[in-house]
Amino acid sequence: MTAPFQSSGLCSQLHGLWLPLVTPFCDGIVDETSLRRLVRHYAALPIDGLILAATSGEGLTLGMAELEWIVAVTRETLAEARRYLPICLGLAGSYTRKLCHTLDETAGWPIDGYLISSPYYSRPSQRGLLQHFNMLADHASWPLVLYNIPYRASVALETETLLELASHPNIVGMKDCGANRAQSIELLRRRPAGFRILTGEDALYFEALADGADGAILLSAHVETPTFAAIWKLFKEGHTDDARERWDSVSPLPRLLFAEPSPAPAKYWLARTGLIDSAEVRLPMVEVSRELAARLDAEIARRQVPVSRLEPSA
């Protein structure tokens, strides 16, 4: 397949606060009622885009039919809410040609791009990573956002590799989870014009914006969404002290929502506050411990978030 390189559209929208939406489950299947409720809720809030079926969305546990259905339901619900939001589909894999086949299967879906992580487990060289992402970008009908997350993939995209990939016309940005501030600053300084860098490190959101990041993709923004959005807006307007004050009010949330493997804590919060009907996750993920559930309940109460009639799971 020859890609039409529709990169300019996504590139112009790749900024601000993006939400890596969780995937709600009930009795082992994707919960349509909760998914629609989630999308309607966040469509009314100041987010700038959605990531579907990435890490927070438990994408590695989803089949192709489920992925297609989630995308379709999300796009339909956004249309009903009269809110256009760009959608990136999260993909991952260690076999390049198989990923190319997935790109073919998803080429006609109502998305705006892909968020693609480095190959996991196989730990390719930088030369292998370069060829891998270039082949995907050449093949894809929608633009790519790189996902550099070495602590999950066991391999890091090094600075020179990232800069070379950034020159590809169908690679428009990256989610930066490298946890390497020096590299992030260098990338921001040397990146080509139009290449967007969004942090994916929730606890480093303020720091990344201070360094010049274009925005963030944050699981924690499922909670206190307007505050997380306001932080970026205040930075953009030059009100750094006000942004700091807002950040101080939400900075404990990333520590709490990542106290156990994500997205279980966030799903617990969303279930307790009525946005989804169940905190269910798919194995090998498990729901939060009783100890963390108690801490989450205390924080919900402290923030005076209305709690639904749903009871926490035993």
- The answer to whether residue 190 is domain-embedded is yes
Q: Into how many domains does the chain fold?
A: 1
- The answer to whether residue 300 is domain-embedded is no
- The answer to whether residue 64 is domain-embedded is yes
User: Looking at residue 31, what is its pLDDT?
Assistant: 98
- The answer to whether residue 270 is domain-embedded is no
> What is the pTM (predicted TM-score) of this model?
0.94
Q: What positions carry a catalytic annotation?
A: 147, 175
Q: Which tokens belong to 156? A: 């890091």
Nearest to 191 by CA among 208, 171, 206, 210: 171
Which domain range does residue 205 map to?
7-249
- The answer to whether residue 314 is domain-embedded is no
* pLDDT one-digit tens code per residue, 254-289: 999 999 999 999 999 999 999 999 999 999 999 999
- The answer to whether residue 80 is domain-embedded is yes
DSSP E strand boundaries for the chain: 16-20, 25-26, 29-30, 49-52, 87-91, 113-117, 144-148, 171-176, 196-199, 215-217
Residues flagged as binding site: 56, 217
User: Beta partners for 99?
Assistant: none
Nearest to 73 by CA among 104, 41, 33, 113: 33
- The answer to whether residue 13 is domain-embedded is yes
Which regions of the chain are under pLDDT 70?
A: 1-8, 308-314
Residues flagged as binding site for pyruvate: 56, 217
User: Looking at residue 308, what is its pLDDT?
Assistant: 58
Which CATH number is 141's domain given?
Answer: 3.20.20.70
User: Looking at residue 4, what is its pLDDT?
Assistant: 39
Quote the CA–CA distance of 246 and 231 in Å, as a whole number.
Answer: 6
- The answer to whether residue 272 is domain-embedded is no
